[in-house]
Amino acid sequence: MIKNEIAKPNTKMKTIICHSFPAWDTPYIKSTVELMTRLAGHNRVIFIDYHYTIKDVFRHPNAPKAQLLGKTSRWRKIETEHGQIEVYNSLPVIPVNWVNNPFLFNLLMSLNAWLVGFSIKKIIRQLDREQTVLVNAFNPIYGWFTKKYWAGIPTTYYCYDEIGGTEWASKWGSIYETKYAQQANEVITSSSHLKEKFDRLHSKVACVKNGVNLSVFKQEKIETTHNHSIGYIGAIDNRVDLDLLKNLAEALPEYKIEMLGPLKVELPAEMPTNVVCLGALAQSSIPEIAMNWDACIIPFVKNKLTKAIYPLKINEYLAMGKPVITTNFSDLSDFEQLISIAANAEDFITATKKELRYNNRIKIQKRIEFSQQNSWESRAKQFNELIANIEPVQVG
């Protein structure tokens, strides 16, 4: 177990409420969850879960249906290795992503905010507002429409993605993110690119980059592997360059390329059979497979969405001591001495062959040592210091 290094907070901050877009129960690694679980070591953390829609209750595979339907308590106290975190599920809301008309969107979101407001008021009634802070985690639309309920509570907007590049929020997300960020007390981002974006909107912007769970991913044995396997951790979605993946698989037919994460797009019929999708696994189960890989890849396309990413997986790869080959989708200057960054498919294939051929124990040791600077404990300490010293928000 990695020791929780977070200093005890400012005495004014007793409770952190996280109004989260990321869902607690989905089996993906999420920066919001990693940070909040560690902050729970010295604070009371209340995690207001993703607002599932009425449709989600019946169709979403990871929706906590018993809580959403009121069959069991909406309030779950979950013990983690860092401390207890309280997860709260509000009433199911009305789906709004389909709406194109501004008046209708505003009407439906106002109704959703009224529904969510019951939960917010219930939570806040038991707290001292002067000793509470709010972290809105990439949830600016609900943040904006529920802002009256949070009056007098210091507010941080935490942004880890380019909202205008997402499929689910590109229509309305950018509009309400701008409004919400400007009325928050501070903004914290997960990448330098996102910080530059918000520097134009707000006077108080900080960057806390993604970390790595060393208790899960740290490699203890300094040795090379020769298993003829290459791996990727993360969702297989529209960020992944499927043409590049196909070209890599064809160039290295003797290697199995294992994709470890949820499959969210359909793979082309001509994708070589040495590309294998293994599905999503709990974080603790990932190293059992990934430790056997000879190299790890990030075959992302380069676009508005990926430009804003500081990839979670890169520190996980390095913590395992693995060679890393990536496209130049984002600013990866923090890692350029340790990884191979390719500008095109030909360079990517060449770099992969080179990393496979010239890996050694010295390189493995350097990767592991570098990753130890980027633990989630150190990131949470930064985050804690930022949110503990902000002044109450003034809501007009």
Rg (alpha carbons) of the chain, rounded to whole number: 21
CB 210 within 8 A of CB 311: yes
* pLDDT band at residue 100 under the 50/70/90 scheme: very high
Q: Given this model, what pLDDT does residue 168 score?
A: 75
Q: Given this model, what pLDDT does residue 374 score?
A: 95
Return d(Cα 93, Cα 278) in angstroms, integer. Answer: 33
- String of b and e for 119-133 (b: at least 16 CB within 10 Å)? bbeebbeeeeeeebb
Asked if the model's pLDDT at residue 170 lies above 90, the reply is no
Asked if the model's pLDDT at residue 295 lies above 80, the reply is yes
Neighbours of 221 (CB within 10 A): 9
Asked if the model's pLDDT at residue 187 lies above 70, the reply is yes
The domains found in the chain, sorted by start residue, are: 15-211+376-387 (3.40.50.11010), 214-374 (3.40.50.2000)
Asked if the model's pLDDT at residue 1 lies above 90, the reply is no
* pLDDT band at residue 12 under the 50/70/90 scheme: low
Could you tell me the two tokens for 286? 């990932």
Asked if the model's pLDDT at residue 396 lies above 70, the reply is no
* pLDDT band at residue 391 under the 50/70/90 scheme: low
Helices (H) and strands (E) in the chain, counts: 15, 14
Q: Given this model, what pLDDT does residue 390 score?
A: 83
Residue percentage of the chain with pLDDT more than 90: 88
SS (H, E, C) 295-342: EEEECECCCHHHHCCCCHHHHHHHHCCCCEEEECCCCCHHHCCCCEEE
Task: Give me the half-sphere count of Cα atoms (radius 13 Å) on the Cβ side of residue 126.
Answer: 8
Q: Which of 292, 316, 322 is nearest to 371 (CA)?
A: 316
Q: Given this model, what pLDDT does residue 364 score?
A: 96
Q: Given this model, what pLDDT does residue 222 score?
A: 82
The tens digit of pLDDT for each residue in 206-239 reads 999 999 999 999 888 788 889 999 999 999 999 9
Q: Given this model, what pLDDT does residue 27 score?
A: 82
- Averaged pLDDT for residues 69-78: 95
Tracing tokens 């229509």 back to the chain, one arrives at 171
Poorest-pLDDT segment among 7-21, 121-135, 191-205, 318-332? 7-21
* pLDDT band at residue 273 under the 50/70/90 scheme: very high
Poorest-pLDDT segment among 9-23, 165-179, 274-288? 9-23
Return d(Cα 135, Cα 150) in angstroms, integer. Answer: 11
Residue 75's SS3 state is: strand
Q: Given this model, what pLDDT does residue 29 score?
A: 86
